[in-house]
Amino acid sequence: MLKKIAFFILLFTFAFGAYNIGDVVTDFTIPFCANGTADFTLYDYYGDISGGNYYVMLLNFSEPWCGPCQSEATHLEGIYQDYGPDNFIILTIGSDWGGQYYTCDQWVNLFGPLTFPILLDDMNLYNQYGNGYVPYNVVLDHSMTVQYSTSGFNEIAIRNTIQTYLDLLPNDVDGDGINGDADNCPEVYNPGQEDVDGDGMGDVCDPCDNANVFIPGNLNGDLADGAPIIDLLDVLILLDAILNQDYSGCSGEAANYNGDNYVNIQDMMGMINYIMNGGRANQSPSIIGNQGVKVHYEDKTGTTQVVFSEMQDIISGIQFTIPGVVIDDISTESISIPEGWILRSKSIDDKTTFLLVDLSGKNARSYIRLELPFKLTTTMDDLVISNVQGQALKPVISQKEAEPGLNTDAVLPIQFSSPYPNPFNPDISIPFALSDDMEIRVSVYDITGREIAVLQDGLLEAGQYQLSWNAIQFPSGVYIIQLRTAGTIQTRKAILMK
């Protein structure tokens, strides 16, 4: 009887030498009593010592004769299910299992089922941790420092403490001593953080050396005497990339030759100019031309004639997309193109992109006429006209429909021009013109069809408009810009490239 009284006094009085908040605890090894085999060692869960993952731990000191401990057990399982088992573990530690009280297995089944370890305190650990009566709960952070130590069971306080220190866990997956976002290659061991091209991705996980190999323009990464080469093969690879809208891999990283963050025919012409001039070329993108390049397209019977004209011989490349037209690899047998030029096309998602390029770099023209084998029912998308230096030429567009006796330029009720620049980062301009007053809604959708922005919704008077959209909060990818009126829906595709 006196022994039992002494035991209760031990549990219900403050113990000398107990850990306080802020103390680092020492290692211990005690036997599993349930939900484990052999022995449990505390520092196996201490990443600095074990070299493994880091953990936040809840040490729950309980005894089988303790009624509040029994009620608490079910709540502990809920905490374990919410936060464990990765980076979080609960240990219930007691010394009086079995006998006239519950065994560990009975405890697990009657008050659970419990899935976290039950341990036998054969080292009198409670004297080191406890500072009052059971149940007693202690939260250790990843450095084995006491952050919570209280008698009773305050679930809200315990949960808040666990979440706080889970949020502060080191995230050093590769074990190189550099955590989370600070690691330029978080899944591969690289303590030196070497990054030869300075692109923010460590060399050990970056197949593209953008400083010495895949420099802008060297899309295939070939070298001569250790130096990167930009040649016609790179130009053709870029042509395919633009037609296929595929800017993946190291080639994609090298595709933006002029550094304006948009990949298009300007990059191709800049590369051709570089090749033809022995590496001495103007790589600075700009818009030149006083009146711009006149772009006139006229509907014929089943065909469309498109004319590009300027006062000087400065047109060297043309890129545009036609919605609703499917023509893969357009035939040039019936289309006259200048010597040294090529014409290519590729259809994706019910739209066809056309590239007309002076591969010779020596035959810039002031007049280009194309007879396209289809009737044009909408405006051109993504129209870019370039000179040989890779500089953009401003397009001035007009259209005439094939109707008997009609000799004036046609006026469309809605002219939804191509958003620009495209690709963009992070701002894009959306021009359109209305011939009459009308209700109009302009929205942006992501690739899943979810509407993510509304740029205009209401009545607009006749006139020309230009909306803008800032996509800084959205990830790189394809977005659809939709213009909707009571009688029509028109869409344009925009590529965000960060």
Question: DSSP letters of 333-375?
Answer: TTS---TTEEEEEEEETTEEEEEEEETTSS--BSEEEEEESS-
Task: Report yes or no: 75 and 112 within 8 Å, Cβ to Cβ.
Answer: no
Give pLDDT, residue 368: 85
Residue pLDDT, tens place only, 309-368: 887 778 999 999 888 888 877 776 667 788 889 898 888 888 889 999 998 888 888 888
Q: Indicate the pLDDT class of residue 407, thresholds 50, 70 and 90.
A: very low
Q: How far is CA 315 from the centre of its chain?
A: 37
Task: Give the number of C-alpha atoms closer than 13 A to the C-alpha of residue 193, restricted to the C-beta side.
Answer: 13
DSSP letter at 107? H
For residue 388 the two structure tokens come to 């040989």
- SS3 label, residue 433: strand
Say if residue 395's pLDDT is above 60: yes
pLDDT average, residue stretch 259-273: 90
What's the first-to-final CA gap in the chain, in angstroms? 76
Residue found by looking up tokens 């620009």 in the block = 420
> Could you give the CA distance from residue 488 to residue 436 in angstroms, rounded to a whole number?
14
Give pLDDT, residue 156: 94
pLDDT average, residue stretch 116-129: 93
Give pLDDT, residue 332: 64
Give pLDDT, residue 473: 92
Residue pLDDT, tens place only, 467-478: 999 999 999 888
Residue pLDDT, tens place only, 55-112: 999 999 999 999 999 999 999 999 999 998 888 999 999 998 887 789 999 999 999 8
Give pLDDT, residue 181: 67
For the chain, give the mean pLDDT. 83
Q: Are strands 463-470 and 227-228 parallel, antiparallel or unpaired?
A: unpaired
Give pLDDT, residue 280: 59
Q: Indicate the pLDDT class of residue 52, thresholds 50, 70 and 90.
A: low
> Could you give the CA distance from residue 327 to residue 398 in angstroms, rounded to a whole number?
24
Q: Indicate the pLDDT class of residue 399, thresholds 50, 70 and 90.
A: low
Give pLDDT, residue 462: 81
Q: Indicate the pLDDT class of residue 17, thresholds 50, 70 and 90.
A: low
Give pLDDT, residue 411: 42
Give pLDDT, residue 58: 97
Task: Report yes or no: 277 and 271 within 8 Å, Cβ to Cβ.
Answer: no
- What are the φ and ψ backbone dihedral angles of 269, each rounded to 5 degrees? -70, -35
> Could you give the CA distance from residue 271 to residue 258 in angstroms, rounded to a whole number?
9
- SS3 label, residue 230: coil
Give pLDDT, residue 323: 86
Q: Is the backbone peptide bond immediately before 323 cis, with ω within 30 degrees of 0?
A: no
Task: Report yes or no: 145 and 161 within 8 Å, Cβ to Cβ.
Answer: no
Give pLDDT, residue 279: 67
Give pLDDT, residue 2: 38
Task: Report yes or no: 139 and 150 within 8 Å, Cβ to Cβ.
Answer: no
Residue 316, CA distances (Å) to 102, 263, 451 in order: 88, 17, 39
Give pLDDT, residue 284: 46
Give pLDDT, residue 90: 97
Give pLDDT, residue 404: 43
Residue pLDDT, tens place only, 172-215: 777 777 776 678 887 788 888 888 888 788 888 888 888 889 99
Give pLDDT, residue 318: 93
155-167 and 67-83 helices, crossing angle to 10°: 30
Q: Are strands 317-323 and 341-348 parallel, antiparallel or unpaired?
A: unpaired
> Which domains are present in the chain?
2-167 (3.40.30.10), 203-276 (1.10.1330), 412-498 (2.60.40.1930)
pLDDT average, residue stretch 124-136: 90
For residue 343 the two structure tokens come to 């014409």
276 against 458, higher pLDDT: 458
Cα angle 100, 103, 109 (rounded to 5 degrees) comes to: 130
Model-wide pTM > 0.75: no
Task: Give the number of C-alpha atoms closer than 13 A to the C-alpha of residue 81, restricted to the C-beta side.
Answer: 10
The number of beta carbons lying within 10 Å of the beta carbon of residue 116 is 24
Give pLDDT, residue 414: 76
- SS3 label, residue 265: helix
Residue pLDDT, tens place only, 445-460: 887 778 899 999 999 8
Give pLDDT, residue 401: 54
Residue pLDDT, tens place only, 238-265: 999 998 888 888 998 899 998 888 899 9
